[in-house]
Amino acid sequence: MGGATNLPPGFHFFPSDEDLIVHFLRRKVANLPCRPDIVPTILLHRYDPWELNGTALQAGNQWYFFSHAAQSRTSPNGYWNPVGADETVTSSGCIVGLKKTLIFCTGEPFKGFKTNWIMHEYHLQDGGYNVSGSSTSSSSSSSRKSQRKRLHSSTESNNWVICRVFESSCGSQVSFHDEGTELSCLDEVFLSLDDYDEVSLPNN
């Protein structure tokens, strides 16, 4: 089990999609402190979803963590398979990020069995990492340096993600190649979950 937090009694970690991107992921990319600093960074490929307890931040029946985006989302006993279309996340009417939905499958990639484990993976929109204004340069050299800096920052913003993992209450495992490969309970996948009974930090 994850360790208890030092946060005030009654604190519940109940972030919206906008909160996760604007107040956590954006600050992570910009190397700015988060208050409270409770979301850990993990290497996703080292863990199956049922091993996140005590490693990621637990909030009720959900686990939160930062990680690096990867083309191959494999783990010791399976892989995360994307489902559905990416969703945009907005703040004050502007698109600030994307939310990808993935389902965990046991076995070899594209030959495995779907489980009830779901992950929402949040990506920062290109350019959304800027947290302060920039001055106009009077020289072409400064302009080129600024462009390189923005390119580097854009790469960093695309590399970091913040994830929410949970186990849905869908039925038993089914083959990834069975007829009707859509999830049988998409409502549970895309709706916010309602169990935020406790918050615990990962063990040191």
Q: What is the CATH number of the domain that holds 23?
A: 2.170.150.80
Q: 81-90, pLDDT tens digit by residue?
A: 999 999 999 9
Percentage of the chain modeled with pLDDT above 70 = 63
State the chain's mean pLDDT as an integer: 76
Integer CA distances (angstroms), 24 to 106, 111, 129, 192, in order: 30, 35, 11, 18
Contact 196, 10 (CB under 8 A): no
Residue 201 lies in a domain: no
Residue 194 lies in a domain: no
Q: Which structural domain range is residue 41 located in?
A: 13-127+158-170
Residue 104 lies in a domain: yes
Residue 25 lies in a domain: yes
CA angle in degrees (0–180, nearest 5) for 170-109-166: 30
Q: How large is the average pLDDT for residues 52-79? A: 92
User: Which one has a higher pLDDT value, 14 or 131?
Assistant: 14
Q: Compute how many other C-beta atoms are within 10 angstroms of the C-beta atom of residue 185.
A: 15
Residue 133 lies in a domain: no
Confidence band for 200, pLDDT divided at 50, 70 and 90: low
Evaluate if residue 46 carries a pLDDT over 50.
yes
pLDDT of residue 1: 37
Residue 190 lies in a domain: no
- Spatial neighbors of 65 by CB under 8 A, at least 6 apart, are 39, 40, 41, 42, 44, 52, 55, 56, 57, 162, 163, 165
How many domains would you assign to the chain?
A: 1
Residue 142 lies in a domain: no
Residue 63 lies in a domain: yes
